[in-house]
């Protein structure tokens, strides 16, 4: 007998199981022990994650993929705060999710109890519905309501706050009744009115340039095959909503690409050109609608959605709104269309225009054509290789960041349910989502696309993957920076504050968590590494070294530096006395460098006389303001493959050794009393070599 037998905690677990919840992700807390015990007893798989945000992303991905809500169970204010990013993501993605937070004991509420917060007031706004339960008798009704709200209408996250002492109480006497029927399949709205369906068909077919913008509602209602047939019958092309590229087979002649960030350049103009638009199972968020510019002013549009929109800001109300799930609508539309006769002349005009649109789209969607022979991988070629090598049922997950632009434009997806991306743009999603996908579909390959910034936020979930038997292949596009934000800074002429990161040996990190890790530094090395990873029984991280000149799929910038080299494991240095407090040196203005003609040309420039850096007798770094071991020193540690010893300073290379680096600049460091001067070029976009010299003291290194 389990310890939770007969308790309210067990009652909650049984209700979740009866409703079709099969998995619960958690970081455990002492505030919900009977529930934790009850979940296992009720046959729900409990997966412990390393962070509640990741647990929430796992639950979100599970819900998106399967259509069934997962539970995510967290503790009090601290756990719920960590979870909140996933509540926001699940809401943005319209994913059903049952979040349960263990709350402080009822007698302690409102008295600054340990880890207390008003969870409903603070986090409920991120959810479709949130409630704190104050007595056991209220449990059945609240669970009923939570399940209903999560899964009907526009699906989304719900939050139940359950006081710890309540979970220990005996279960409700009559057992209560918890509705189950609403959660066992994809959400459905009432049968659509055939007259309204006919009007929508007229709206589309009377137009010259109609388009369907299809979103997650099509995926959730498993309507892709029906949509393909409907689009073919009506000869209306389809654009996928942002981060829903799997909604329609990408190799189909009627597919015209995905909207949103890094859309192929034909997509937005084509949407604006549409004189009639069917928005199907899509919420028309800012990104999918290119800043609410779609539907274009004056376009006639129909919104078919479980909860269709009214007028919103600058977007006029739909010409026709129909509350329906996508599949029911499309099936009805096919039925109606099957009995009708289409005007041959306008049909032929549309066909010709569609064919031209498709050719135009195919011409601009390629991402692998730019010349490149290193250093590092060509991100577009990586994506093209994925298109060639991944089995069609592979599930691809993505994190937020510019690295994803190549896949957004160039990845070929052929089947529904093969792509998971957060429309909330939440970093840290990619790996946890891949873990959840691999657990939900153990037989399918799963590939996570992540940046080095995003992976840093959830990398510990590699251990979760290993422990739980998930086998994602993680592709980390490493430019050693928050590249997206750096791009924004550059484009606004702002200095690069807080956007450069240090080097990480992601392969070693992966191995440390029990996964496999492989460093990939060239295009040639990628394919064999991917094949091996797909065949591996362990989760694998492929550390893709990306030159910083690959700013985005739309921007190659010769002025950006090469990637920061990987750190090398060096002998543990002697402990040194603690260095002075680190100054917060203001970033120096950087000169604009002449862009190079060819990305692969890497001349060694003359060093500029731009900065002066002094090295004191004590071997401390100093920049020209006399600040010790400031940004310059830390940068140098990175650029020189150095690992800072505990006491400050840096462990360097041998005298006479040639070092190279890029982007960042001069330093010196002490080793066993020696002063060794490195001068690395400041000119962006150029790799600079310098031979290590013994420095005189005091040293003033003028750049040049």
Query: What are the residues binding ligand TPP (CB under 6 A)?
Result: 399-403, 425-428, 451-454, 477, 479, 481-485
Q: Which residue is nearest to ligand TPP (CB)?
A: 451
Question: Which does residue 400 touch among ligand TPP, Mg ion, none (CB within 5 to 8 A, set by kind)?
Answer: ligand TPP
Q: Which is nearer to ligand TPP, 301 or 429 (CB)?
A: 429
Question: Which does residue 640 touch among Mg ion, ligand TPP, none (CB within 5 to 8 A, set by kind)?
Answer: none
Q: How far is the CB of 119 from ligand TPP (least distance, A)?
A: 21
Question: Which does residue 427 touch among ligand TPP, Mg ion, none (CB within 5 to 8 A, set by kind)?
Answer: ligand TPP
Give the contacts of 449 (CB within 8 A, at least 6 positions apart).
Answer: 396, 397, 398, 399, 403, 404, 407, 430, 475, 477
Residues 63-122 that bind Mg ion (CB under 5 A): none
Residues 626-665 that bind Mg ion (CB under 5 A): none
3-class state of residue 387 by DSSP:
helix
Q: How far is the CB of 505 from Mg ion (least distance, A)?
A: 15
Q: Which is nearer to Mg ion, 132 or 452 (CB)?
A: 452
Strand-pair partners of 46 = 24
Q: How far is the CB of 512 from ligand TPP (least distance, A)?
A: 20
Q: How far is the CB of 432 from ligand TPP (least distance, A)?
A: 12
Q: Which is nearer to Mg ion, 416 or 451 (CB)?
A: 451
Measured CA to CA in angstroms, residue 521 lies from 542, 546, 557, 558 at distances of 10, 8, 20, 19
Counting residues that bind Mg ion (by CB under 5 A) gives: 5
Report the DSSP pairing between strands 446-451 and 516-520: unpaired
Question: Which does residue 539 touch among Mg ion, ligand TPP, none (CB within 5 to 8 A, set by kind)?
Answer: none
Question: Which does residue 155 touch among Mg ion, ligand TPP, none (CB within 5 to 8 A, set by kind)?
Answer: none
Question: Which does residue 230 touch among Mg ion, ligand TPP, none (CB within 5 to 8 A, set by kind)?
Answer: none
Q: How far is the CB of 533 from ligand TPP (least distance, A)?
A: 20
**Cα dihedral 585, 586, 589, 595 sign:** positive
Q: Which is nearer to Mg ion, 375 or 483 (CB)?
A: 483
The angle formed by the CA atoms of residues 620, 626 and 627, to the nearest 5 degrees, is: 65
| Closest C-alpha to 441, from 21, 52, 61 | 61
Q: How far is the CB of 101 from ligand TPP (least distance, A)?
A: 20
CB under 5 A: which stretch of 415-423, 451-459, 506-514, 589-597 binds Mg ion?
451-459
Question: Which does residue 140 touch among Mg ion, ligand TPP, none (CB within 5 to 8 A, set by kind)?
Answer: none
Q: How far is the CB of 304 from Mg ion (least distance, A)?
A: 38
Q: Do the beta carbons of residue 270 and residue 211 sit within 8 Å?
A: yes
Q: Which residue is nearest to Mg ion (CB)?
A: 451
Q: Which is nearer to ligand TPP, 245 or 453 (CB)?
A: 453
Distance (Å, whole) CA 51 – CA 54? 5
Q: How far is the CB of 475 from Mg ion (least distance, A)?
A: 13
A 10 A CB-CB count for 216 gives 24
Distance (Å, whole) CA 59 – CA 436? 7
Q: Which is nearer to ligand TPP, 235 or 500 (CB)?
A: 500
Q: Which is nearer to Mg ion, 29 or 451 (CB)?
A: 451
Question: Which does residue 454 touch among Mg ion, ligand TPP, none (CB within 5 to 8 A, set by kind)?
Answer: ligand TPP
The beta-strand segments (E) located in 513-588 are 516-520, 540-545, 550-552, 555-556
Give the contacts of 304 (CB within 8 A, at least 6 positions apart).
Answer: 192, 200, 278, 279, 280, 281, 322, 324, 326, 329
Q: How far is the CB of 451 from ligand TPP (least distance, A)?
A: 2
Q: How far is the CB of 403 from Mg ion (least distance, A)?
A: 6
Over its C-alpha atoms, the chain yields an Rg (Å, rounded) of 28
Q: Which is nearer to ligand TPP, 37 or 452 (CB)?
A: 452
Q: What is the dihedral of CA 290, 296, 300, 305, to 10 degrees?
A: 10
Distance (Å, whole) CA 409 – CA 426? 19
Per CB under 5 A, does 483 bind Mg ion? yes
Give the contacts of 528 (CB within 8 A, at least 6 positions apart).
Answer: none
Q: How far is the CB of 481 from Mg ion (least distance, A)?
A: 5
A 10 A CB-CB count for 389 gives 15
Question: Which does residue 19 touch among ligand TPP, Mg ion, none (CB within 5 to 8 A, set by kind)?
Answer: none
Q: Is 227 exposed, middle or buried (0-12, 13-18, 19+ CB in 10 A)?
A: buried
Distance (Å, whole) CA 383 – CA 368? 8
- DSSP letter assigned to residue 146: H
Q: How far is the CB of 394 from Mg ion (least distance, A)?
A: 23
Per CB under 5 A, does 451 bind Mg ion? yes
CB under 5 A: which stretch of 15-23, 155-163, 343-351, 474-482 binds Mg ion?
474-482
Question: Which does residue 402 touch among ligand TPP, Mg ion, none (CB within 5 to 8 A, set by kind)?
Answer: ligand TPP
Chain length of the chain? 704
**Cα dihedral 530, 536, 537, 541 sign:** negative
What is the residue-wise DSSP string for 631-676?
HHHHHHHHHTT----TTSS-----TT-EEEEES---EEEEETTEEE
Peptide bond into 295 cis (omega under 30): yes
Question: Which does residue 60 touch among Mg ion, ligand TPP, none (CB within 5 to 8 A, set by kind)?
Answer: none
Q: Which of 479, 499, 690, 701 binds Mg ion (CB under 5 A)?
A: 479
Q: Which of 452, 637, 665, 669 binds Mg ion (CB under 5 A)?
A: 452
Q: Which is nearer to ligand TPP, 159 or 546 (CB)?
A: 546
Question: Which does residue 95 touch among ligand TPP, Mg ion, none (CB within 5 to 8 A, set by kind)?
Answer: none
Q: Rule CB under 5 A: which residues touch Mg ion?
A: 451-453, 479, 483
């Amino acid at each position: 007998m389990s310890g939770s037998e007969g308790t309210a905690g067990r009652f909650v677990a049984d209700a979740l199981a009866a409703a079709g919840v099969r998995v619960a992700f958690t970081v455990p807390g002492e505030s919900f022990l009977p529930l934790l015990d009850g979940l296992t007893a009720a046959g729900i798989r409990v997966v412990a994650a390393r962070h509640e945000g990741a647990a929430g992303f796992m639950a979100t991905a599970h819900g998106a993929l399967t259509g069934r809500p997962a539970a995510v169970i967290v503790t009090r204010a601290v756990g719920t705060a960590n979870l909140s990013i996933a509540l926001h993501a699940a809401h943005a993605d319209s994913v059903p999710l049952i979040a349960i937070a263990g709350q402080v004991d009822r007698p302690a509420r409102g008295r600054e109890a340990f880890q207390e917060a008003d969870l409903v007031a603070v986090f409920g706004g991120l959810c479709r519905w949130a409630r704190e339960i104050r007595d056991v008798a209220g449990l059945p009704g609240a669970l009923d309501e939570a399940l209903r709200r999560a899964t009907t209408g526009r699906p989304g996250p719900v939050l139940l706050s359950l006081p710890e002492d309540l979970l220990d109480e005996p279960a409700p006497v009559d057992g209560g009744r918890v509705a189950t029927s609403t959660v066992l399949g994809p959400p459905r709205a009432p049968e659509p009115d055939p007259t309204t369906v006919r009007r929508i068909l007229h709206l589309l077919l009377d137009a010259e340039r109609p388009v369907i913008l299809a979103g997650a509602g099509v995926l959730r209602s498993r309507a892709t095959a029906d949509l393909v047939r409907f689009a073919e019958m009506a000869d209306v092309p389809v654009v996928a909503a942002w981060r829903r590229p799997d909604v329609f087979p990408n190799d189909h002649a009627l597919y015209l690409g995905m909207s949103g960030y890094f859309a192929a350049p034909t997509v937005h103009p084509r949407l604006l050109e549409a004189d009639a638009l069917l928005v199907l199972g899509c919420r028309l968020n800012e990104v999918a609608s290119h800043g609410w510019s779609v539907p274009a002013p004056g376009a006639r549009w129909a919104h078919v959605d479980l909860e269709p929109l009214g007028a919103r800001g600058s977007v006029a109300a739909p010409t026709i709104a129909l509350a329906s799930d996508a599949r029911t609508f499309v099936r009805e539309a096919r039925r109606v269309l099957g009995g009708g006769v289409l005007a041959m002349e306008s049909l032929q005009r549309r066909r010709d225009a569609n064919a031209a649109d498709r050719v135009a789209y195919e011409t601009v969607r390629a991402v692998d054509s730019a010349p490149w022979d290193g250093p590092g991988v060509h991100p577009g070629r990586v994506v093209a290789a994925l298109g060639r090598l991944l089995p069609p049922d592979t599930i691809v997950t993505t994190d937020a960041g510019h690295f994803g632009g190549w896949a957004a434009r160039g990845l070929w997806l052929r089947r529904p349910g093969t792509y998971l991306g957060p429309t909330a743009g939440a970093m840290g999603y990619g790996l946890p989502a891949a873990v959840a996908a691999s657990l939900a579909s153990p037989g399918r390959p799963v590939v996570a696309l992540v940046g080095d910034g995003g992976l840093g936020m959830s990398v510990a979930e590699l251990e979760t993957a290993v422990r739980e038997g998930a086998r994602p292949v993680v592709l980390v596009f490493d430019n050693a920076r928050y590249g997206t934000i750096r791009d924004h800074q550059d484009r606004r002429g702002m200095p690069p504050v807080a956007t450069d990161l240090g080097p990480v040996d992601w392969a070693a990190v992966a191995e440390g968590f029990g996964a496999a890790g492989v460093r990939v530094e060239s295009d040639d090395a990628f394919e064999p590494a991917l094949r091996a990873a797909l065949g591996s029984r362990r989760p694998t991280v492929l550390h893709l070294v990306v030159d910083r000149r690959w700013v985005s799929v739309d921007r190659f910038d010769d002025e950006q530096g090469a990637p920061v080299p990987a750190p090398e494991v060096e002998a543990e240095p002697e402990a040194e006395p603690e260095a002075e407090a680190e100054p917060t040196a203001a970033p120096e203005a950087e000169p604009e460098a002449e862009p190079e003609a060819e990305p692969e040309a890497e001349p060694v420039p003359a060093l500029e006389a731009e900065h002066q850096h002094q090295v004191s007798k004590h071997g401390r770094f100093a920049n020209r303001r006399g600040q010790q071991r400031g940004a310059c020193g830390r940068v140098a540690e990175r650029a020189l493959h150095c690992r800072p010893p505990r006491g400050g300073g840096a462990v360097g290379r041998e005298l006479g050794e040639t070092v190279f680096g890029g982007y960042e600049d001069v330093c010196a460091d002490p080793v066993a009393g020696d002063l060794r001067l490195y001068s690395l070029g400041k000119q962006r976009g150029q790799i600079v070599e310098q031979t290590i010299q013994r420095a005189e003291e005091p040293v003033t290194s003028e750049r040049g």
